[in-house]
Amino acid sequence: MNRIEHIRLLADYNQWMNRKVYDAAGKLSDAQLVEDRQAFFGSILGTLNHLVLGDTVWLKRFAKHPAGFPVLSALNAVETPTNLKQLAFVDIRELSSRRAWLDPLIIEWAYSLRESDLDHRLHYCNMRGVANDKPFFGLLVHFFNHQTHHRGQATTLLTQAGVDVGDTDLLALID
């Protein structure tokens, strides 16, 4: 599997897992979703908000890549988050709608990548305004790893709330 195929697999996995997590979250009440569970982002809803906000920040950074990535221009209408711990979406229905819009965008973008795009360095500022210059492929790996990391937290919180997310292994998508 080459790097592009790997990125595409991770984009497909992201959508597959998000559907599973949101289906599981949909079995809980609004009160259960916002309950402070002493997690890093407090609640299940807080953790899922963080993922959407983090994905938005990174995709907006990726849109500044020299390749342009026209599909990411859809994010021009979306405000750049300034706080990754905020509850930008106060209920699961609103958040789920954003996630359902974002995941196909991620897949379309991942399938538009070319091998040569991966070799660039990306200049961006972090949330504190500090300039960075990092290899684009490494940032993509971080992007998808970040999703997996926090979805793992969300699945733990869902399990503790009595909801089984089911199989979460990437292996399920590998031929």
Phi, then psi, of 101 in degrees rounded to 5: -80, -40
Which residues are within 8 A (CB) of 27 and not within 5 positions of it... i.e. 6 or more apart? 163
- CB 171 within 8 Å of CB 14: no
Question: What pairs with residue 123 in β-bridges?
Answer: 133
For 3-163, the fitting CATH number among 1.20.120.450, 1.10.132.20, 1.10.10.10, 3.40.50.1100 is 1.20.120.450
Q: What is the dihedral of CA 168, 172, 174, 175, to 10 degrees?
A: 180
pTM confidence score: 0.96
Pairing outcome for strands 121-125 and 131-135: antiparallel
Q: What is the pLDDT along the chain (175 residues), one digit of tens a residue?
A: 999 999 999 999 999 999 999 999 999 999 999 999 999 999 999 999 999 999 999 999 999 999 999 999 999 999 999 999 999 999 999 999 999 999 999 999 999 999 999 999 999 999 999 999 999 999 999 999 999 999 999 999 999 999 999 999 999 999 8
Q: Where are the domains of the chain?
A: 3-163
